[in-house]
Amino acid sequence: MTHARPGRPLPTPLPEWFPRGAALLRDPTLNKGTAFTLRERDVLGLRGLLPPHVITQEDQVNRVLENFRRLDSDLSRYILLEALHDRNETLFFRVIMENPDEMMPIIYTPTVGLACQQFGHIYRRPRGLFISAADRGRMVEVMRNWPYREARMIVVTDGERILGLGDLGANGMGIPIGKLALYTACAGLHPRHCLPVMLDAGTNNEALLADPLYIGLRQKRLSGAALDALVEEFVDAAQQSFPGIVIQFEDFANHNAFRLLRNYRDRICCFNDDIQGTASVTVAGILSALRVTGLKMSEQTFLCLGAGEAATGISDLLVAAMVDDGLAEAAARGRCWMVDSKGLVTAGRKDLAEHKRPYAHAHERVDDFLGAVRALRPTAIIGVGATPQAFTRQVIETMAQLNQRPIVFALSNPTSKSECTAEQAYAWSSGRALFASGSPFDPVEVNGRRFVPRQGNNSYIFPGVGLGVVSVQSSRVTDAMFMAAARTLAESVTPADLEQGSLYPALSRIRDVSARIAAAVGEVAFRDGLAGIDRPSDLLALMHRQMYDPDYVSYA
């Protein structure tokens, strides 16, 4: 059954399948709550099921905000918004889109991390598909239980590396739900195009296995060939059930993420946001910072704290950017360094995972991050290792001694994992740091100057990339698309943004920025022969036409 989509005209008279009465009020994709008109109530069997006064969507938004702002904890606010999402999807997205600065930290980072930790205890209603190892051999059947055949974007996780919080098993479902909410809020991907998936392979988290309210499989996590077989069946079932669907791999552990991306990126339309999306938003921030310093990309030296998915993806895209700026690839790689739990990643170490080896350069042993900063004299430090407060006062002061405008990116999520706060970065550098963070921080005043830090959050990138890929029906998602997204995002930062220390645009502009990123991604798809539609005369106009707007439609 294919339902008519909210936000578009419905056939008149309404088709027989269209729900009525209480069934309509229980369908969040069609429910308007107290905004149903009197005529709609007569035609759809709603008389008596709603209070008599008809309320506008604007008044409904105000009621949600009143209740939201009355709550005294972010987790309570998250629960309120998810309850709204489950009750009235159109109103949910209207509230998010009109109040992005207030709402996005609740529906995604940093609050989503706490929500995942508590997921089994705050669980109210199923959303998305829970596919487990117990479903092997019948995944196509499970996929066909999804009621909306228009699905075009899947975000899937196995919950093994949720943000910086580790193995949360099936509780990690909060991440695909949150990511796809951002696809709609930030880039207008229609809600019925979005499918969150938890691929439950078990968990090694003993606390969860002992928790009577844990919602997932109560078994140790599959690994190696067994996990690969589970993912392979899932990918095949997804392609069979939703031909051409895009798959975003999310929060898989390092030892699986690189392998899975390598296995599937040239077979299906997919990407890994932790590797490629994080890289793109980071490179965008660096490009913005260089507009302030006046230096070239090819003149930079980068030091990542962390050597996993994010650090590798960031370094790979930084290398591509430096090559574009005239450096040979080998020289560009030599300007990217990493520090892991054992110290500086160097060529002499014998314990290196495969993904670290391209950035293991000849150098004497360095045991700690401060030592690496002193030895390598980087122009930019990038924290993606979920090591809280690792950018110490000594680290920031050393960076400020080495650079007139030190670039300091504390990108680990949630806030509890941040390498330093905005206030620390600005205060310890005497207001000279060019700062970005993974979680939001309030404006800071240092030496009489007000700084407005902004998040280097993937939500600036992946929604626009997804919109572009879906809109032009691209057969693949490529690194060139993420580079185009990074450059487009950086170009969206205004001189006024830079003057106040903001390396990213305001969230109030996110839909326009996402449309421009989508157009840039579409341009790459057409250039590289990947698009599945005829080229339109105006790519940006196409993207705007595709974007969902959460307004109520008339049913009668």
Q: How many domains does the chain have?
A: 2
pLDDT in tens, 303-329: 999 999 999 999 999 999 999 999 999
Question: Which tokens is 551 given?
Answer: 């307004």
Question: Which tokens is 546 given?
Answer: 């595709």
- Which of 239, 268, 297 delimits the end of a domain? 268
Question: Which tokens is 201 given?
Answer: 């392979």
Position 2 scores a pLDDT of 38
Domain-located, residue 449? no
Position 262 scores a pLDDT of 96
350 is catalytic: no
Q: How far apart are CA 186 and CA 512, in angstroms?
A: 9
Question: How are beta strands 194-200 and 246-249 bridged, if at all?
Answer: unpaired
- Which of 220, 236, 268 delimits the end of a domain? 268
Domain-located, residue 232? yes
Residues 6+ apart with CB under 8 A from 106: 74, 77, 78, 81
Domain-located, residue 481? yes
SS3 125: coil
Domain-located, residue 159? yes
Domain-located, residue 361? no
356 is catalytic: no
pTM of the model: 0.95
For residues 305 and 341, is the Cβ–Cβ distance under 8 A? no
For residues 222 and 501, is the Cβ–Cβ distance under 8 A? no
Burial of 427 (C-beta count, 10 Å sphere; 0-12/13-18/19+): middle
Residue 13: pLDDT band by 50, 70, 90 thresholds? Answer: confident
Domain-located, residue 32? no
Catalytic option among 32, 123, 148, 179 = 179
Position 16 scores a pLDDT of 83
Q: How far apart are CA 232 and CA 237, in angstroms?
A: 9
- Rounded alpha-carbon distances, angstroms, from residue 41 to 34, 57, 234: 10, 16, 42
Domain-located, residue 417? no
- Domain with residue 103: its CATH number is 3.40.50.10380
Position 12 scores a pLDDT of 65
Domain-located, residue 530? yes
| Count of all residues that appear for the chain in the document | 556
Question: Which tokens is 279 given?
Answer: 């890289």
Closest to 511 in 3D by CA, of 456, 460, 545: 460
- 3-state secondary structure string across 375-433: HHCCCEEEECCCCCCCCCHHHHHHHHHHCCCCEEEECCCCHHHCCCCHHHHHHHCCCCC
- Which of 268, 285, 317 delimits the end of a domain? 268
Q: Does pLDDT of 6 surpass 70?
A: no
Catalytic option among 108, 183, 359, 504 = 108
Range of the domain at 107: 59-268
Position 75 scores a pLDDT of 98
Residue 4: pLDDT band by 50, 70, 90 thresholds? Answer: very low
Mean pLDDT of 221-233: 97
